[in-house]
């Protein structure tokens, strides 16, 4: 089994790293948050002291970080992966970042003989824990084949979609669809519930038809309980939609619905709800309608 370096042990990264340990992979881990690192070390990981240190002790290095600047710094900065990795070490960035940044980092890594994949994920914390994430991968097929089994420990769906940057472009498409789905569901559920129809029965009635979706099944039960504990925070979805808007504008693709959902999320951020789960987007509609959709 290849020795894996894992950097970034947040809501998503920590369970992903633990699943690799459960599958028997040797892992050296690192995070700036000592408590998170202590937890995976207790689960069997070796303790890394920096991205450079992790890379020097690994055959495959995985990062799961918040955004483009964090990945750039960890990969290319002082004591970064590029300083520790040997030629032939495979770098797999599973963060959700701007596709152009993935390409930029890949070019720098290639100069040092370090092949890179961008492999962002979808599914939130529950699927990270279960090891059933959807993983969309960009990069050379021969590199993908070398780490496919590793990725399948963390994901139920692992698809090579194209060249480097394609994984993150696919993730942006995913986040547009998820965000607009949540907004549409929220708008519809507030309308139905305030009119006097039982929201639980509305959900049961429509989930088997064309309006049914993974978003509906994942979010409505939580909304009915008023549970907005984050599986995927609004502030992270804002980050993804910002990347989507910037990328769309760069390549000349109008995205009016994405812009609308971004403004709804920004309003929730102003309201202090940015750390809620993105299913909490319904609170924007509830506030306007002066009605809460609950059991």
The yes-or-no verdict on residue 143 having pLDDT over 90 is yes
* Spatial CB neighbours of 243, under 8 Å, sequence gap ≥ 6: 68, 96, 97, 98, 168, 172
117, 148 Cβ separation under 8 angstroms: no
Same-domain pairing of 114 and 207: no
Q: Is 219 a catalytic residue?
A: no
CA distances from 99 to 75, 118, 135 (A): 15, 9, 15
Q: Range of 72's domain?
A: 4-162
Q: What is the pLDDT of residues 84-99, one digit of tens each?
A: 999 999 999 999 999 9
* pLDDT on residue 288: 98
Number of domains in the chain: 2
Q: Is the pLDDT of residue 124 over 90?
A: no
| Domain finish residue from 120, 144, 162 | 162
State pLDDT tens for residues 169-225: 999 999 999 999 999 999 999 999 999 999 999 999 999 999 999 999 999 999 999
pTM of the full structure = 0.91
- Is residue 34 domain-shared with residue 140, that is, in the same domain? yes
253 and 229 within one domain = yes
* Arithmetic mean of pLDDT over the chain: 97
The answer as to whether 295 is a domain residue is no
Q: Are residues 205 and 228 in the same domain?
A: yes
Looking at the domain assignment, is residue 15 inside a domain?
yes
The verdict on 158 and 221 lying in the same domain is no
Last residue of a domain, one of 113, 140, 162: 162
CATH of the domain at 93: 3.40.50.720
Which of the residues 14, 171, 239, 273 is marked catalytic? 171
């Amino acid at each position: 089994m290849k020795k894996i370096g894992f950097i970034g042990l947040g809501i998503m990264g920590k369970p992903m790293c633990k699943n690799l340990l459960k599958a028997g992979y040797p892992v050296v881990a690192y995070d700036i948050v000592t408590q998170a690192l202590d937890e995976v070390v207790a689960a069997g990981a070796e303790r890394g002291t920096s991205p450079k240190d992790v890379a020097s002790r690994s055959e495959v290095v995985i990062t799961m970080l918040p955004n483009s600047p964090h990945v750039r710094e960890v990969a290319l900065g002082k004591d970064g992966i590029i300083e520790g990795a040997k030629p032939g070490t495979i770098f797999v960035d599973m963060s959700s970042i701007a596709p152009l940044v993935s390409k930029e980092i890949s070019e720098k890594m290639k100069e040092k003989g370090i092949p890179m994949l961008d492999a962002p994920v979808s599914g939130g914390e529950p699927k990270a824990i279960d090891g059933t994430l959807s993983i969309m991968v960009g990069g050379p097929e021969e590199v993908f084949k070398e780490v496919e089994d590793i990725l399948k420990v963390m994901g139920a769906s692992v698809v090579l979609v194209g060249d480097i940057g394609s994984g993150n472009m696919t993730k942006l498409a995913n986040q547009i669809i998820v965000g607009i789905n949540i907004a549409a569901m929220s708008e519809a559920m507030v309308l139905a519930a305030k009119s006097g129809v039982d929201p639980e029965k509305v959900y049961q009635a429509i989930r088997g038809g064309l309006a049914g979706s993974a978003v509906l099944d994942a979010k409505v039960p939580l909304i009915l309980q008023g549970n907005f504990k984050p599986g995927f925070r609004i502030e992270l979805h804002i980050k993804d939609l910002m990347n989507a808007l910037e990328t769309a504008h760069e390549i000349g693709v109008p995205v009016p619905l994405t812009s609308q959902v971004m403004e709804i999320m920004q309003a929730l951020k102003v309201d202090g709800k940015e750390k809620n789960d993105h299913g909490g987007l319904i609170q924007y509609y509830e506030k306007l309608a002066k009605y809460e959709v609950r059991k």
